Amino acid sequence: MKSPRPRQKVASPTEFLEDRLLVQRYLAGDRTAGDELTSMLTPVIASVVGRVLGSGPGKDWEDARQSIWLRVFERLGTWRAECPLRGWVMVVATRRALDIRQKRWPLSLSGESLAAWPATRPETDPVLGECIRSTISQFPEPWQEVLQLVVDGVEHEEIANRMGRARRTIQYWLEHMRNALLRCVE
């Protein structure tokens, strides 16, 4: 059984006000406000990068952190003080980190990618083949349709358009399908 996540501290009205004033100062061009934001939010971004990209600090981590910082500062003007700034940054950072991870490790479930799996293959190992068939049959119908489109080589953006869903939703489904299928080979 998973241990429960630690509860995050709920921001007080004073913290919301302080965050809002800090962001307003930054948007007005105050460089010290930018330094304060960087100091305050660096642990949040480092935590997201570690969780999403795994492994220790290195070039990939630094590239990801820089890319996330750019995204955060580009979008800071869209933050509404209705939610905690740290929570908003965590969402922006997570989305950007997932985009980076997707580019680094593109998900492909085509025949070529199956060749990289362990030596036992679905067509030669009846137990593995049955596990894969059973797993796929348990996916909801839209997921199965997305999986077929991926196997057919359709790009994620095009799949999203055809399905009338956001690209991130398609990527989320694919990530869950990938994890479920990987359990067959573990």
- Domain locations along the chain: 13-104, 111-185
According to the model, what pLDDT value does residue 114 have?
Answer: 41
Mean pLDDT by 10-residue block, N- to C-terminus, for the chain (186 residues)? 48 76 93 92 88 71 85 88 86 83 56 44 66 87 88 85 88 86 76
Q: What is the residue-wise DSSP string for 121-157?
A: -TTT-HHHHHHHHHHHHHS-HHHHHHHHHHHTT--HH
Distance between alpha carbon 173 and the CA centroid of its chain, in Å? 12
What CATH topology corresponds to 111-185?
Arc Repressor Mutant, subunit A (1.10.10)
pLDDT of residue 119: 43
| Residue given tokens 């480092």 in the structure block | 46
Residue (of 70, 75, 102, 87) closest to 168 by Cα position: 102
Domains 13-104 and 111-185 share a fold: no
Which helix H or strand E contains 9, and what residues bound it? none
pTM assigned to the model: 0.53
CATH-assigned architecture of domain 13-104: Orthogonal Bundle (1.10)
- Both tokens of residue 132? 């894969």
Its sign, for the CA torsion 110, 111, 114, 115, is negative
- How far apart CA 93 and CA 100 sit, in angstroms, is 10
How much is the pLDDT for 27? 92
Output the six-digit token pair for 31.
């460089």
